[in-house]
């Protein structure tokens, strides 16, 4: 309808001289007759259409609008005709004049219109009986008892000025034209299965008249929430994410913090049935228009009720009451000083301290190549390594990774990639790629399923690996040293090739000294370099932490009885930060070491054959080469010590 509230004042601005009135009277009859014919023709053409007054004849055009420079607003007078033609919502059967005042809009140009009052009585036309009178007046009564009172809504201030025009219904803050949601049960609204309706129409014709298509759409739509979670977040964000609103009400951006929670991220990734704002803020069997503030004792989110709000049958029925201590609106920035905040800081420091030195070594290694600084002392060791490769025993001894460990590595690789592909979309849920990744996985439910079971496989694999290592330690403990005494478990452990020893730490310092030009000689490492040992330790540490926290988050109801609710915040922080650390370590540094490093490019064969190329072996594992050569008598002890 033409809601003109510009400088003109409706029809009173028109010339109303006697001659004009007479001319008007003369032409009116002819034009009305012509238009009446047109309306009849058009109405006949739109068989079945609900636009009884034929307003869409003009109002379907997108351009039927104007720009009001005084208010910098565009007055949109067009409506989506398919809403009416395809009966897309419960208002599709209303006449325009059920909401708009007939006397104001039955004249062209329309009179200055009164804003629509949603509590006004309308007349629903249904095929199953006479018109029904209907009004939203009861909703207005409910709102008066809620936190969203007319007075509260009337005081709202927004960034960029008011969102509604003066006098417009406050319902528009949350509602636009209601639509029936597509039903997953019976196909989409527009692609409904005809055979289904044929079955309904067997009875619902003349004796039990019912427009079965419309009724089914209505019912199947209302079997779901009126809006999917993301749309509801959009509705709430109008106020609860508006900077001016947040400033005047001195509250945090609750929509943004919700979106950082699991539920919010799931909504962003297309899971429409995850918990939405109303799931927590409205008590079961309560009308959404009766939402109360958190300070009200009857509110679903009042401290005395919030546990029950989490534990409804739809959500976490088996959870401990303490489960509600898990923060849905966890805003770490605002939570400075809390355990959660300190833990996040600790993880950032851990990331910098663990990733930083490794990255520094890689960058310095590359810098050597850029400036053309080569360590020529390795050429002799490279020659020895090549000689050993030709020796049957030497060849066997130089294999750094046995088939058992290579297989374990590849299993770990596959599981790690799966976990990253299915886990990181949730961390970066608002990125475009995240949605694509989840869709490729077959949806969030499938992605989570893959993530959970890949995690279980990783944990099981890790336990098996630990068992394998333990057996190795026990075997070694039983061996006798040079003095004929058994090693013992502790000595055996320290003797394992993966253990980081004080010598390794010293050599790491020497390596840094060499790479920065402070030392002339490059230290040599044994079977595994310090970076490899560090990566191995990282995998063990990361798998333990991620596995433990992952299991807690997965079995949240069971875990809540043991750990309470707040530990979920901590588990979530550990899980996400540790996963990020693992991903950047592997994605940047490990990929460099085994793929992009010029010494192994395009790929290190060590992961397939167990052998490292002689050049790289000499450069990084020189001590290991010399040790093998000495044991096989291919090197004089003095040369080795040199």
Partner 1 sequence: MSSAKPTPGRDSMLTRVGRFALRALRAAGAELIRRGYAAALMAVILYASWQSVSYLITQLMTPPRTPAQIAQLPRRVDEALLHGHRPDWTGLAAVENPRTPLAHFHRFDTWLQSDPRNDCTRSGCHAPLPHSERKEVRAFLNMHATSIQCGVCHVQSDATPLELTWYSVSDGRASEPPALLRAIAWLDTHPTPAAAPSWTADDQRTLLGLVGDAVRQSDDDPTLVRLAAHLDAFRAGSSGFADAVEEARIVVRRALRGAYGTKLALRGGADRPILGHPGTAGAIRDWLANGAAATGQQRENMLRAVHPRKRETPLDCGACHREQGSLIDFARLGYPETRRRELHEPAIFRMIEHISKGEPFHLPDIGVGPRP
Residue 640: CB minimum distance to partner 1, A: 32
24/114 with CB nearer partner 1: 24
Give the residues across from 67 on adjacent strands.
74
Task: Quote the least distance from Cβ 505 to partner 1, whole Å.
Answer: 23
Question: Which is closer to partner 1, CB of 2 or CB of 282?
Answer: 2
Q: Identify the three-state secondary structure at position 73.
A: strand
CB of 147 to partner 1, least distance (A): 19
Distance CA 282, CA 293 (A): 10
**Per residue in 410-433, is it b (16+ CB within 10 Å) or e — as a string?**
eebeebbebbbbbbbbbbebeeee
Q: Which is nearer to partner 1, 160 or 502 (CB)?
A: 160
The tokens of 343 are what? Answer: 């833990």
Instruction: Provide the minimum distance between the beta carbon of 301 and partner 1 in the complex, in angstroms, as a whole number.
Output: 19
* Nearest-approach distance from CB 54 to partner 1, in angstroms: 6
Question: Based on CB atoms, which residue is closest to partner 1, 177 or 295?
Answer: 177
HEC secondary structure over 504-566: HHHHHHHHHHHHCCCCCCCCCCCCCCHHHHHHHHHHHHHHHHHHHHHHHHHCHHHHHHHHCCH
Q: Which is nearer to partner 1, 79 or 635 (CB)?
A: 79
Would you say how long the chain is, in residues? Answer: 642
Q: Which residues are within 8 A (CB) of 256 and not within 5 positions of it... i.e. 6 or more apart?
A: 241, 331
User: CA angle at residue 181 from 428 to 163, to 5 degrees?
Assistant: 70
Q: How far is CA 335 from CA 263, 288, 341, 351, 577, in A?
A: 20, 30, 6, 21, 17
Nearest residue (CB) to partner 1, 435 versus 510: 435
3-state secondary structure 195-209: HHHHHHHCCCCCCCC
Minimum Å distance from CB 300 to partner 1? 22
Instruction: Find residue 65's DSSP bridge partners.
Output: 76
CB-facing half-sphere around the CA of 487: CA atoms within 13 A: 17
Assess contact for 288 and 281: CB atoms under 8 A.
no
Nearer to partner 1, 239 or 412 (CB): 239
* Residue with Cβ nearer partner 1 (28 or 395): 28
Give the residue carrying structure tokens 């452990």. 493
> For partner 1, which is the closer residue by CB, 54 or 630?
54
| Residue 343 C-beta: closest distance to partner 1, Å | 11
Least distance to partner 1 from the beta carbon of 138, Å?
A: 20
CB of 591 to partner 1, least distance (A): 10
Q: What is each CA distance from 42 to 33, 35, 61, 280, in whole angstroms?
A: 14, 10, 15, 49
Give the torsion through C-alpha atoms of 551, 325, 446, 268, to 10 deg: -140
Identify the CA nearest to 401 among candidates 412, 409, 390. 409
Of 158 and 186, which has the nearer Cβ to partner 1?
158
The residue (of 326 and 429) whose beta carbon lies closer to partner 1 is 429
Minimum Å gap between C-beta 218 and partner 1 is 15
Closer residue to partner 1 in complex, CB, 43/489: 43
Kindly state the smallest distance separating residue 304's Cβ from partner 1, in Å. Answer: 27
Name which of 120, 128, 125, 117 is nearest 94 in CA terms.
125
Do residues 429 and 262 lie in contact, with contact meaning Cβ atoms separated by under 8 Å? Answer: no
- Answer for the pair 430, 268: CB distance below 8 angstroms, yes or no: yes
In this structure, the number of other CB atoms found within 10 A of the CB of residue 8 comes to 12
Tell the smallest beta-carbon distance from residue 256 to partner 1 (Å): 4
Q: How many CB atoms lie within 10 A of CB 166?
A: 7
């Amino acid at each position: 309808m033409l809601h003109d509230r510009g400088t003109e004042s409706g029809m009173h601005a028109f010339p109303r001289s006697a001659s004009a009135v007479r001319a008007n009277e003369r032409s009116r009859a002819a034009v009305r007759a012509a238009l009446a014919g047109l309306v009849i023709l058009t109405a006949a053409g739109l068989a079945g259409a609900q636009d009884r007054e034929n307003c869409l004849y003009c109002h379907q055009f997108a351009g039927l609008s104007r720009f009001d420079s005084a208010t910098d607003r565009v007055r949109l007078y067009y409506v989506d005709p398919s809403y009416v033609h395809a009966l897309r919502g419960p208002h599709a059967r209303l006449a325009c004049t059920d909401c708009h005042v007939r006397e104001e809009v039955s004249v062209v140009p329309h009179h200055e219109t009164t804003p629509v009052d949603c509590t006004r009585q309308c007349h629903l036309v249904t095929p199953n009986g006479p018109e029904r009178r209907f009004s939203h007046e009861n909703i207005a009564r409910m709102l008066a008892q809620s936190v969203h009172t007319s007075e509260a809504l009337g005081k709202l201030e927004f960034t960029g000025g008011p969102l509604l025009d003066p006098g417009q219904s406050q319902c528009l803050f949350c509602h636009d034209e209601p639509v029936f949601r597509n039903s997953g049960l019976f196909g989409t609204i527009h692609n409904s299965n005809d055979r289904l309706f044929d079955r309904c129409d067997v009875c619902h014709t003349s004796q039990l008249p019912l427009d079965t298509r419309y009724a089914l759409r209505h019912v199947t739509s209302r079997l779901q929430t009126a809006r999917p979670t993301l749309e509801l977040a959009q509705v709430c964000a109008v106020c609860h994410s508006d900077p001016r609103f947040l400033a005047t009400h001195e509250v945090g951006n609750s929509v943004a913090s919700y979106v950082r929670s699991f539920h919010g991220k799931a909504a962003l990734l297309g899971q429409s049935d995850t918990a939405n704002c109303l799931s927590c803020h409205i008590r079961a069997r309560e009308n959404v228009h009766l939402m109360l503030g958190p300070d009200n004792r009857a509110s679903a989110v009042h401290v005395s009720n919030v546990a029950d709000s989490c534990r409804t049958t739809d959500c976490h029925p088996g959870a401990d009451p303490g489960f509600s201590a898990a923060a849905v609106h966890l805003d770490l920035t605002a939570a400075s000083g809390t355990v959660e905040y300190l833990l996040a800081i600790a993880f950032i420091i851990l990331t910098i301290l663990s990733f930083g030195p490794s990255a520094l070594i890689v960058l310095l290694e590359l810098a050597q190549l850029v400036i053309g600084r080569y360590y020529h002392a390795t050429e002799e060791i490279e020659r020895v390594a090549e000689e050993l490769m030709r020796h049957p025993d030497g060849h066997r001894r130089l294999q750094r990774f046995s088939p058992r460990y290579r297989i374990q590595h590849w299993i770990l690789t596959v599981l790690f990639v799966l976990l990253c592909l299915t886990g990181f979309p949730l961390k970066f849920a608002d990125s475009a790629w995240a949605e694509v990744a989840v869709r490729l996985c077959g949806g969030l439910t499938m992605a989570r399923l893959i993530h959970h079971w890949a995690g279980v496989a990783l944990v099981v694999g890790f336990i098996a690996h630990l068992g394998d290592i333990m057996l190795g330690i026990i075997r070694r403990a039983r061996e006798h040293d040079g003095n004929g005494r058994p090693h013992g478990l502790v000595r055996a452990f320290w003797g394992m090739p993966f253990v980081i020893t004080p010598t390794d730490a010293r050599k790491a310092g020497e390596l840094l000294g060499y790479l920065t030009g402070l030392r002339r000689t490059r230290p040599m490492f044994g079977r595994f370099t310090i970076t490899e040992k560090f990566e191995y330790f990282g995998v063990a540490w990361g798998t333990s932490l991620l596995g433990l926290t992952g299991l807690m988050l997965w079995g949240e109801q069971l875990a809540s009885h043991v750990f309470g609710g707040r530990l979920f915040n901590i588990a979530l922080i550990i899980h996400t930060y540790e996963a990020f650390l693992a991903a950047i370590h592997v994605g940047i540094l490990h990929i460099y070491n085994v793929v992009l490093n010029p010494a192994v490019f395009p790929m290190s064969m060590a992961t397939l054959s167990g052998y490292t190329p002689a050049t790289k072996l000499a450069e990084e594992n020189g001590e290991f080469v010399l040790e093998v050569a000495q044991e096989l008598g291919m090197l004089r002890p003095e040369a080795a010590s040199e």
